[in-house]
Amino acid sequence: MPSVLLASPSTFLRIGLTQQLRRQQRRFVPVEAVTAGEAARVLAGRAIDLAIVDDTLLGETGGDLLQEALTRHTRQTLLIALREPCGPPPIPGTIVIAGRLDGVLDMGGIARALDDALDALAVTRPARRAATQQATAVKDARASVRPDPTRPNLTRPAEIILMAASTGGPGALAALLGRMEPPQVPIVIAQHMPADQTAAFARHLAVETRLSVCECGAGQLPSAQVVVLRGGADYRLRRAAGQGSGGQAYWLSTITVAGNTFHPCADLLFASAAEAGIKVAAVVLSGMGEDGARGAGIVAAHGGGVLVQDFDSCVVPGMPAATRAACPSALVASLSGIAGRLARWTAPSSRGAAAMAEET
């Protein structure tokens, strides 16, 4: 199997690249490096077929040594461009993948470009059998989606909207929120992202959607229309003290989920809210893996509503497909369809109840 160097100071980026390669059914042996010096030593000490390098390493101490090692010791290099543009690629023959969108790490863009780049380099071959199995699973999930709307889970208007996303999520979230009218209830977003990037992502969403958006960690949910959970941690949601059913104040507390790779954990967020008696509208957007599927099932079991992004429009359909499989009552819809459904599900009691009655 070919050896692939994954070099970046960002754990999130290294994990994301590994997961993306595995999702594409590429056979490879990953070798990780955190610093420029460490990456240079790896390249000098063993045969590396492909180096995928965060270009910020070229600008740090030891960057010159890394650039020289990439030129001498690897056959092919992909640079994830996270620095400001500074001229042509420093290494001849390098393929550059844009890694930032409006100052935010763009895992969706990286995911879209990575497969094409690997095919162009012809470094690794797809595992055909596994790829066929994955394609069959997605096809089966698509076949289970009927064109006629199914009976919605909600029996009364939702009090809060919870959204989950990973790879491809930033673009899907911006597009979805941009199609929504100012929300009647709070929207809380669990976008898999490291802690140092969610504040910038919240600002990006505010500019793109013209909604009131802020980042939030533990504590009382702020009054902003949209809240992006601070990355790097997992959260439980409950009503704030003294708030009974129908109360509008909510409280977030942090918790560590053993074995969880990506944060914030959507399963925990969804399940904790539903089990606290909060009427939830859960939305699962583009992302790799299955986060959100188990929690969505708990939301549905407690009388909440579940919506998932249609698979064809996802950068990675893993999370929506897993949610649809785990929660058969989930509705699969386009981003525009999700926006319209949320407007009806969160309308004031009289109008919301009438709208939901029409959908049954």
Catalytic residue IDs = 166, 192, 291
Please state, in angstroms and rounded to a whole number, the distance separating the CA atoms of residues 139 and 41: 44
Which tokens go with 46?
Answer: 């063993």
What angle (nearest 5°) sits at the alpha carbon of residue 337, between those of residues 181 and 155? 85
What would the two tokens of residue 303 be?
Answer: 């009388």
Angle at 150 between CA 147 and CA 155, to 5 degrees: 150
Separation in Å, CA 176 to CA 16, 109, 113: 23, 17, 23
Burial of 360 (0-12, 13-18, 19+ CB in 10 A): exposed
- 96 near 106, Cβ under 8 Å? no
Cα(326)–Cα(295) distance, rounded to whole angstroms?
A: 9
Neighbours of 60 (CB within 10 A): 12
Beta bridge partners of 191: 165
The first and second tokens of residue 43, run together, are 């390249």
In single-letter form, the type of residue at position 93 comes to: G
Asked if residue 264 has a cis previous peptide bond (ω within 30° of 0), the answer is yes
Alpha-carbon distance of 317 to 21, in angstroms, equals 15
Q: How far is CA 113 from CA 51, 119, 120, 315, 360, in A?
A: 15, 10, 11, 11, 42
Asked if 23 contacts 130 with a C-beta cutoff of 8 angstroms, the reply is no
User: Rounded to whole angstroms, how far apart are CA atoms 126 and 27?
Assistant: 7
Q: Which residue type occupies 135? A: A
Task: For residue 22, give every residue at least 6 positions away whose Cβ sits within 8 Å of its Cβ, in sequence order, or none.
Answer: none
